[in-house]
Amino acid sequence: MVAQDNQLWLAMWKNQQTDFHQPLVNRHLQEYWHRLKVPNMGRVLVPLCGKSNDLLWLAARGFEVIGIELSSLAVKAFFKENQLKPKKTRSGHFTIWRHGRIRILCGDIFLLKHTHLGQIDAVYDRAALTALAEPARKQYVRKLLSLMPLLKPILLLTTEDVDPLRTQDSAALVDQEIFDLFSPHFAIAVSYGDAYPVAFSPATVNKVYQMKRLTAATD
C-alpha cells in the first residue's frame, strides 16, 4: 500500500496536480508555534514538507529545519522558487539538499532512521498525517516515535471530515482517529478548531493539535 501511495504522490508532482500546496506561510503555524517552547536554535522535523514556505518561516526564526519529502521535483521547486542554491549530498536512501538552516532529505520517510537526523526538538506536521492513506497512518506514528525517543512536542495541523452527529462545538474535541493514533504516547490538546453551526457546517474542519510526548514507559 505504501509503495502505491508513493507512486501516486510522485505522479501528482510530475503532472503538476499540486492544488494542495499553499504559497503563504500557514497562519496557524505563526499563531501557535510559540506554545511548543522549542529551544532557541532547536532542530525541527517537518515530514512530507513538499515545497512549503513554512520551512522558510521556521528557519528565519533561528531554528534548524529538516524537511522530509519523497518527490525530488517538489524539493527542486522549493529551492528554485525561493532563489536558493542548495548543496546536495547522498546518505543511504536519501539525497540531502542543504542551504543555510534548511535541510531537506529527499526520499521515503518510512526508510528514515534516527541516525539520519540526530536530536529532534520538535515536529511540525502540516497535514502530513492526513495526506497519507489510512492504512499508513499507524506506521507513520510509529516512525515518528522512533525518530524522537525523548520527550519532544508536536504541532499537528489537520483537515478532518466533519462528523454530522457531533454538536457545533465539535471543533474543540479531539478527533477519534487522532486520539486512537496518538493518545498512547502523547498528551493531546486542541489549540484551534474551525467552528460552524451544524446546519451550515462545511465538509471538513481544520484543527491545530499541540502534543507532548509521554514518558517512554507508556510506549
Domain spans in the chain, listed from the N-terminal domain onward? 2-218
Residue 99 CA neighbour count, 13 Å, CB half: 13
Backbone φ and ψ of 93, nearest 5°: -80, 0
Do residues 128 and 99 touch, judged by C-beta distance below 8 A?
no
Parallel, antiparallel or unpaired: strands 122-126 and 102-106:
unpaired
Distance CA 180, CA 182 (A): 6
**CA dihedral sign, ordered 155, 100, 110, 216:** negative
- pLDDT in the model for residue 203: 61
Any idea what DSSP says for residue 175?
P
Residue 82's SS3 state is coil
Mean pLDDT by 10 residues, the chain (219 residues): 74 78 89 94 95 97 96 96 96 95 96 92 93 91 89 88 61 88 95 66 80 69
Q: In what order do the strands lie in the sheet with 186-193?
A: 87-91, 94-99, 102-106, 64-69, 43-46, 122-126, 153-161, 204-213, 186-193
What's the farthest any 2 CA atoms get from each other in the chain?
53
pLDDT one-digit tens code per residue, 9-48: 788 878 877 777 678 999 999 999 999 999 999 999 999 9
Q: Cα separation of 75 and 126, whole Å?
A: 16
Per DSSP, what are the bridge partners of residue 209? 156, 190
The 3-state DSSP class for residue 87 equals strand
Cα dihedral value 88, 117, 182, 149, nearest 10:
170
Burial of residue 70 (number of CB atoms within 10 Å: 0-12, 13-18, 19+): buried
The Cα–Cα gap between 140 and 193 comes to 23
The CATH architecture that domain 2-218 belongs to is 3-Layer(aba) Sandwich (3.40)
By the 10 Å C-beta count (0-12 exposed, 13-18 middle, 19+ buried), 147 is classed as buried
pLDDT at 168: 52
pLDDT at position 1 is 46
| pLDDT for res 217 | 44
